[in-house]
Structure 1
Amino acid sequence: MTHTGSGSTYDPPADPARGARPAPAPAPAAARGHGPPSPTDRPVALVTGASSGIGAATARRFAAGGWHLLLSGRDRRRLEETAAGTSAVLLPADLAAPEGARLLAEAALRQTGRIDVLVAGAGIGWSGPFRTMPHTDIDRVLFLDLNATLHLVREVLPSMVAAGRGRVVLIGSVAGCVGVREEAVYSAAKAGLAAFAEALRQELLGTGVGVTLVVSGPVETRFFARRGRPYDRSRPRLASPGSVAGVVWDAVSRGRDDAYVPTWLTLPGRVRGLTPGLYRRLLNRFG
């Protein structure tokens, strides 16, 4: 069962076994602004997965902070809702499409000439035993949550390095830190994203460009409704998209490399490193 992994909106291609899906958004060959053009001297943020959830909340937080926004997602109507009351430029795009990341980056840079912050929030997930997971869904989750993000960062990064400033924000998950049962591929993709963040951070030393990984627990979005099963754990409690957006804003403002929502999510990694046996016993019981 496919569902949204990060609280962002992404509607996968149609699957006859699951019912029809909306047609994918076209590549962003021509961006459409929402409201009058904004001054180019304001800092610019490109936010993907901005149709809802974490992406939409993050977009609103940056808008409140006076940033010029470039918003991307598959659902134009929801992008318009996110952009209401702002001068954001809408760039509907399907990052799962061939050349989707390149076309989005080119459209974004045509609008403003630069991107100061990229918040890569688009992604999907899948819930169920790995042994029953269709091969097409394995590919879909890995591509959207890992490959497409890496390709988009690759397209945006040269302009940041040339400018000598910028920040890439990757939306990770506690699943990438501990591994969550019946979310094996989603966990693998988020773990790969965490390793990518660390490696890229080392490569970018001295360039003026930073990398932030935001690790969140479960968030109160349509994630659980989409998978057809409500969140039934007492811990960790559901965080609000706004609280995650606040952490993203704070991490960018302070130039932080890592941020956790809630903050106690730093503990599993520490326990794993210090006492792997205890870590696995706890994971077997609560994971």
Structure 2
Amino acid sequence: MRIAGSVVLVTGASSGIGAATAHRLAGAGARLVLHGRDADRLTAVAAATGGTALTVDLSGPAGARALARAAVEVAGQVDVLVSNAGRGWCGPLPAMTGAQVGEVVAVNLVSPIELTRALLPGMLARGHGRLVYVGSIAARTGVAEEAVYAASKAGVDGFAESLRFELAGTGLGVSVVVPGVVATPFFARRGRPYRRSLPRPVAPETVAAVIERMIVTGRAERHVPGWLAVPAALRVVAPSAYRWLAARFGGS
């Protein structure tokens, strides 16, 4: 798929992976519609990339569909969705409030589903489009004290895989990028900084480059960095060995 001239909606674009993706796709000639919750930062990213900024709360039940409507109103259509907005939370599960559970699930899982439901009819009518979902290695391996976050991202995995089968032959592509630790404000916002020495955080620009390539090629899945596919596969083919290693070397 050609990025130049395509309308791309990037959620969570005020910082981190979303902002890096906006800059990367702007360089490739995309027409950008950018979503974020930090209005000042989002406005700055939009100004630097020539995009249109839309500040919408995705933690509420109607937020995603309102964002889809607004994106179509300002751009006429959406050819590519990069569903990147995410909410983290780290700590013992009993310490998590019901409101916090609802917010993590709403932003990470419900909003991608609702955005897709709203944008899919137009893409199908045009016979082309890309749906790119930013997942997490936590969905593939599990992470202590991030059970709800991991579950919400695992839901994105299942949703994307099922949607890929549903859309076969339509001209639409579905991709999932699976980052590990990325050097963004995410960890500060989740309530606990990242303290491990390994894996080392990768730059958000590295993930953005993968997202650009997935849009062009339609590749279904990519881990960033690539070696993270090994522990994810080990969990499937040798679960006992994986759990022993995770207990010995794991952590959040």
On whether the aligned pair clears a TM of 0.5, the verdict is yes
Q: Which residue of 2 aligns with 1:17?
A: none
After TM superposition, list the pairs within 5 Å mapping 1:91-102 onto structure 2.
Answer: 91-102=54-65
Q: Which residue of 2 aligns with 1:36?
A: none
1:150 corresponds, among 113, 127, 130, to 113
C-alpha displacement of 1:228 = 4.6
Please give the secondary structure, in 1, of the residue aligned with 2:209. helix
User: Structure 1 segments of 4 or more deviating over 6 A?
Assistant: none
Stretch of structure 1 that moved more, 66-75 or 221-230: 221-230
Q: Does 1:138 align with 2:95?
A: no
Quick one: structure 1 residues 63 and 188, their matched pair in 2 at CA, closer, same or farther if it must change by over 3 Å?
A: same
Q: Which residue of 2 aligns with 1:82?
A: 45
Q: Does 1:279 align with 2:237?
A: no
Unaligned stretches of 5+ residues in structure 1: 1-40
Deviations 1:63-121 (A, max 9, x none): 01011000111222111111233321111111123421111111111222221110011
More helix by share: 2
Q: Which residue of 1 aligns with 2:17?
A: 54
Unaligned stretches of 5+ residues in structure 2: none
Letter in 2 for 1:90: A
The number of residue pairs the alignment matches comes to: 247
Quick one: structure 1 residues 76 and 246, their matched pair in 2 at CA, closer, same or farther if it must change by over 3 Å?
A: same
Please give the secondary structure, in 1, of the residue aligned with 2:211. helix
Q: TM-score, normalised by structure 1?
A: 0.83
Q: Does 1:45 align with 2:8?
A: yes
Letter in 2 for 1:195: G
After TM superposition, list the pairs within 5 Å mapping 1:100-139 onto structure 2.
Answer: 100-139=63-102
Q: Percent identity?
A: 51
1:217 corresponds, among 171, 180, 188, to 180
Letter in 1 for 2:98: H
2:153 corresponds, among 190, 196, 199, to 190
C-alpha displacement of 1:222 = 1.1
CA contact (8 A) 2:90 2:191 kept: no
In structure 1, distance between residues paired with 2:119 and 2:233: 33
Q: TM-score, normalised by structure 2?
A: 0.94
Q: Which residue of 1 aligns with 2:170?
A: 207
Letter in 1 for 2:217: R
Q: Which residue of 2 aligns with 1:64?
A: 27
In structure 2, distance between residues paired with 1:43 and 1:228: 37
Q: Which residue of 2 aligns with 1:174?
A: 137
Deviations 1:19-62 (A, max 9, x none): xxxxxxxxxxxxxxxxxxxxxx8111000101111101001100
CA contact (8 A) 2:87 2:190 kept: no
What is the CA RMSD across the aligned residues, in angstroms?
1.3
